[in-house]
Amino acid sequence: QTGHFTYDPGFTSTAACESRITYIDGDEGILLHRGYPIEQLAEQGDFLETCYLLLYGELPTAAEKADFDYRVTRHTMLHEQMNRFFSGFRRDAHPMAVMVGVVGALAAFYHDSTDISDPHQRMVASLRMVAKMPTIAAMAYKYSIGQPFVYPDNNLDYAANFLKMCFSVPCEEYKPNPIFAKAMDRIFILHADHEQNASTSTVRLAGSSGANPFACIAAGVACLWGPAHGGANEAALNMLEQIGTPDRIPEFVARAKDKNDPFRLMGFGHRVYKNYDPRARIMQKTTHEVLGQLGLSNDPLLQVALELEKVALSDEYFVEKKLYPNIDFYSGITLRALGFPTTMFTVLFAVARTVGWIAQWKEMIEDPSQRIGRPRQLYTGAPQREYVAITDRV
């Protein structure tokens, strides 16, 4: 019993946070958003439909969807003065460092959506966050490669617009590949929300103090960056590249099992899933589709990933500890095939997860019983004792 603490946010029930947004059954590998299975949302809908569902609790009618799409696209541009923000960063800064800084700075520009007691301002803040994250992410990427920023194109859907802002250049026409846009949209859906994970809990805790939504989302971005959380997609691809060929898999599996070796199989294991992460299955299918479209079905990293999964899932260590691939295991291979560098992988996770963060923040703020969060602790330090003058210390 050392250093343990009980997380009791104190704003809903004594045991844990209550929410109506996402349900996970870790033993069965089930993920529902407002009751709808992630498999159906990913296969049949688009990302903005999932955003609407997470924010408002129901699937939109055709008219509601058209209105929501229109309202989101009205907020895709960033305040022009924010462009200057980026030039303050080193070109080789990690894009997540840029995201933390720029997202937090939104509060310095959009004062008309920081009053959390005003339902209209909360709604505008939600739309702004969903709409502007792709623009900020694309600008962080363009800045890192020394290319000019590309303004949003409101004639394109969410994912296609994001790809255009990332990959188009002023000197030639750009048409988003529909297969890539569909894959990007599905990846956004898979990453949209995931109950009370570390970064969502960070957003809720920050929000429980009354901090404005932009500051809370910036806190979520910071937490997501860690390699044990959202940073795992970047770490997983780096791991697959380090393994390189299937014949080196046993060496790395042995390291992952060695308690004296800090190496862990990135993209494996989960705090909640003790079964296959349902998102990983859809991610693997998307990876096959995208690589197939590119004629890369024999991509060496995909072969390493498939073989690594097979070896790990037949190894008693992983079976006994119920360690399965999670969403981060295959996502990196797809994102690399879409043209993104590994440093952008967690940024894309943050773009998608913003709607989950803001939906959970909104649910908490609109809960009349919510109070400031205050994690509890079990004190394991020194008992009370008398002060000793420095001259008497040995």
What residues are annotated to the active site?
270, 328
In terms of phi and psi (left: phi > 0; alpha: psi -120 to 50; beta: otherwise), the region of 339 is left
How far apart are the C-alpha atoms of 343 and 268, rounded to whole Å?
Answer: 20
End-to-end CA separation in angstroms for the chain: 31
Contact in structure between 132 and 112 (CB atoms under 8 Å): no
Q: What minimum distance in Å lies between the beta carbon of 264 and ligand SDX?
A: 4
Closer Cβ to ligand SDX, 65 or 274, answer by number: 274
Task: Please give the structure tokens belonging to residue 134.
Answer: 């792709």
Residue nearest to ligand SDX (CB): 269
Residues that bind ligand SDX (CB under 6 A): 194, 197, 228-229, 232, 256, 264-272, 321, 323, 326-328
Closer Cβ to ligand SDX, 232 or 291, answer by number: 232
Q: What minimum distance in Å lies between the beta carbon of 213 and ligand SDX?
A: 19
How far apart are the C-alpha atoms of 247 and 262, rounded to whole Å?
Answer: 22
- Measure CA 343 to chain center: 14
How far apart are the C-alpha atoms of 384 and 387, rounded to whole Å?
Answer: 10
Distances (CA, A) of 252 to 203, 237, 240: 35, 14, 10
Q: What minimum distance in Å lies between the beta carbon of 108 and ligand SDX?
A: 28
Closer Cβ to ligand SDX, 320 or 386, answer by number: 320
Closer Cβ to ligand SDX, 152 or 356, answer by number: 356
Among candidate residues 319, 297, 296, 295, the one with its CA nearest the CA of residue 309? 319
Give CA angle at 43 (40, 47), nearest 5°: 95
Closer Cβ to ligand SDX, 70 or 317, answer by number: 317
Q: What minimum distance in Å lies between the beta carbon of 19 and ligand SDX?
A: 13
For residue 112, the one-letter residue type is D
Among candidate residues 220, 301, 317, the one with its CA nearest the CA of residue 268? 317
Contact in structure between 331 and 233 (CB atoms under 8 Å): yes
Q: What minimum distance in Å lies between the beta carbon of 270 and ligand SDX?
A: 5
Closer Cβ to ligand SDX, 197 or 287, answer by number: 197
Q: What minimum distance in Å lies between the beta carbon of 27 and ligand SDX?
A: 12
How far apart are the C-alpha atoms of 100 and 84, rounded to whole Å?
Answer: 16
